[in-house]
Amino acid sequence: MDEKPVYLGILGLGTVGSGAVKILQQSSADITQRTGRRLEIKKVLVRNPDKPRPVTLPKGVITTNPAEVLEDPEIDIIVEVMGGISPAKEHILQAIRSGKHVVTANKELIAKEGRELLTSATNAGVNLYFEGSVAGGIPIVKSLKECLAANMIRTVMGIINGTTNYILTAMTENGADFAQVLQEAQRMGYAETDPTNDVDGRDAAYKLAILASIAFGTRVRVDQIYTEGIRGITAEDIRYAGELGYVIKLLAAGKEHPGRGIEVRVQPAFVPRLHPLAAVGGVFNAVFVQGDAVGDMMFYGRGAGDLPTGSAVVADIMDIAKNLGGKVNPACSCYTDKPVIPLEETRSKYYVRTAVLDKPGVLAQIAGAFGEAGVSLSSVIQKGHGMQPVTLVFVTHEVKEGDLRRAIEKIRFLPVVDAVHNVIRVEEGR
C-alpha cells in the first residue's frame, strides 16, 4: 500500500457533501482496504463556518476561502457538491487546470456545461466523474458508459425525480388531488417550499440531458428537451389510467430512431401496469434501458438523499484514487451530432379526456373529427350518463403527435364539446 494518503478538497457541505463526509469517516477502514490508499479530507469550503452541521471535521479543515482548497498543491481530488452554475464551474475549471481530478454531483452544471468541462478535463489529462448527478445512488452513468458499452442503446427511460414520483404515487394510492398531496409532501420534506424545479420537470430534464447524451453518444442540450410537469394531472386522470390498466408517471424518455435522430422529452405518461417502471413507488427512482444486445434492463434505487448520493460520490472518488497515476478515461462521449426529432413528429398512443353534451350523435361527431386528422381510436369510455356534460375518455392507436394535436384543435371547437380536459401520452415502454 502507498503510504501517502490521497488528499481530498470538498466544495460545499450541504446534504450531499455531508453524506459523502459521513461515509468517508464511518467506512474509512473499508475504503482504505478497497482502494489500497487512505483518503484524507484536507479542506472543505463552506459559505458559513458557524452553521451547525451533521458532521464533525478536525480543526482547520473548514474554510471560507476557495483558494485554500483549489490552490493547495497536495490536494489530488476536488469534490464539487455546492450546486448551481457559478462559482461551481469556475472552481472546477481552476481545479482541472491545476491537474486535479474532479468529482461532482451537480446535475445542472453537467447538463448545461458538461461538454466544456469534460473537454477541459480530457485536455488536462484528469478525470471528471459525475455519477452522483443523476439518480442518486443508482450507478446509471457508469453502467451506460462502461457496463453497457457493447450496446447500441435504443431507449433510456426513467423515473428520475423523487418528489414528483412521491406525489403521483400518493395521488394514486389515496385518490387525492395534486395541490393537497403537494402540501403534504412539503410538510414531510419530500418537496421544497418552491417546488417548481421538481414539479415542472426541470430537474428531470437536467438528468435526462446527461443520460441521453451518454446513451446516444451525442450532446443533448436541456433546451432541446420537451419538458412538461405534473401540475395538470388530476385524480380523475389517475382513476381512468387505472381503469385502462396503466399508472401515470413523470417519465424522462430518450429514444434513438437510427438514421432519423433522437427523441427526448420529460412529461407525464401512462405506463402499463405490468411494465417494470410501473411498480416504482414513492421517492424511489428507476432507469429503464433497452440495448440492442442486452435487451430490457432496469436499475432501481434511491434517487436522492445524503447517503445514497454521497455513496455515488465516494465511489467516484475511490475509482480515481485507485487509478491515480494510471490512464485517464476519455471523458466526453459526444462522438456524433444527432438531430432531435420535433415532438410533432414523434409517434405514440394518447389518452384524451373530454367533457361533452350527453345527446345522440356526439360520439360520432368526435370520432369523425379524430378520423379526419388520421387518428384512429382503440377505446372509448363514457362516464356520467344523464348528467350534463358527461365525460368521454378516448385512447388512440399509435399516431403522430402532430396529427393528434390537429384533431384536438378541431374537437375543442365542436359545439357539442364542453372541454378537452387533458391529453396524456401512453408509453407502451418500447
Task: Choose between 228 and 316: whose C-beta lies nearer to a copy of itself.
Answer: 316
Where in the sequence numbering do the catalytic residues fall? 207
Structure letter (DSSP) for residue 357: -
312, three cell numbers = 455515488
Which three-class secondary structure state does DSSP give residue 239?
helix
Task: Choose between 278 and 393: whose C-beta lies nearer to a copy of itself.
Answer: 278
Q: How far is the CB of 365 from a copy of itself (least distance, A)?
A: 42
Q: How far is the CB of 320 from a copy of itself (least distance, A)?
A: 11
Which three-class secondary structure state does DSSP give residue 409?
helix
- Determine, following the binding rule CB under 8 A, whether residue 72 of this chain makes contact with a copy of itself: no
Identify which range of 92-100, 240-248, 329-337, 394-402 contacts a copy of itself by CB under 8 A: 329-337
- Determine, following the binding rule CB under 8 A, whether residue 315 of this chain makes contact with a copy of itself: yes
Task: Choose between 2 and 192: whose C-beta lies nearer to a copy of itself.
Answer: 2
The DSSP string of 214-226 is: HHHTS---GGGSE
216, three cell numbers = 446516444
Q: How far is the CB of 408 from a copy of itself (least distance, A)?
A: 34
Task: Choose between 9 and 139: whose C-beta lies nearer to a copy of itself.
Answer: 139
Q: Which of 2, 4, 33, 382 binds a copy of itself (CB under 8 A)?
A: 33
Task: Choose between 106 and 311: whose C-beta lies nearer to a copy of itself.
Answer: 311
Pair 389, 356: CB distance under 8 Å: yes
- Determine, following the binding rule CB under 8 A, whether residue 6 of this chain makes contact with a copy of itself: no
Burial class (CB in 10 A: 0-12, 13-18, 19+), 233: buried
Q: Which of 10, 16, 31, 121 binds a copy of itself (CB under 8 A)?
A: 31
- Determine, following the binding rule CB under 8 A, whether residue 314 of this chain makes contact with a copy of itself: yes
Which three-class secondary structure state does DSSP give residue 400?
strand
Which three-class secondary structure state does DSSP give residue 269?
strand
For a copy of itself, the binding residues in 110-139 under the rule CB under 8 A are: 131, 137-139
Q: Beta strand pairing status for 347-356 and 390-396?
A: antiparallel
Contact characters 202-221, a copy of itself, x per CB under 8 A:
---------------x----
Q: CA–CA separation, 102 vs 90, rounded Å?
A: 13
Which helix (H) or strand (E) covers residue 420, if one does? strand 417-426
Which alpha helices (H) appear in 292-413, and where do they start and end?
306-322, 362-372, 401-412
Q: Which of 14, 242, 272, 305 binds a copy of itself (CB under 8 A)?
A: 305
Size of the residue set binding a copy of itself (CB under 8 A): 58
Structure letter (DSSP) for residue 340: B
Which three-class secondary structure state does DSSP give residue 277?
helix
- Determine, following the binding rule CB under 8 A, whether residue 298 of this chain makes contact with a copy of itself: yes
- Determine, following the binding rule CB under 8 A, whether residue 180 of this chain makes contact with a copy of itself: no
Instruction: Specify the residue for cell string 438514421.
Output: 259
* N- to C-terminal Cα separation, the chain: 48
Pair 80, 100: CB distance under 8 Å: no
- Determine, following the binding rule CB under 8 A, whether residue 231 of this chain makes contact with a copy of itself: no
Residues of the shown chain interacting with a copy of itself in the complex, contacts defined by CB under 8 A: 19, 23, 27, 30-31, 33-36, 131, 137-139, 142-143, 146-152, 217, 274, 276, 279, 284, 291-302, 305, 307-308, 310-312, 314-315, 318-319, 322-323, 325-327, 329-330, 333, 335
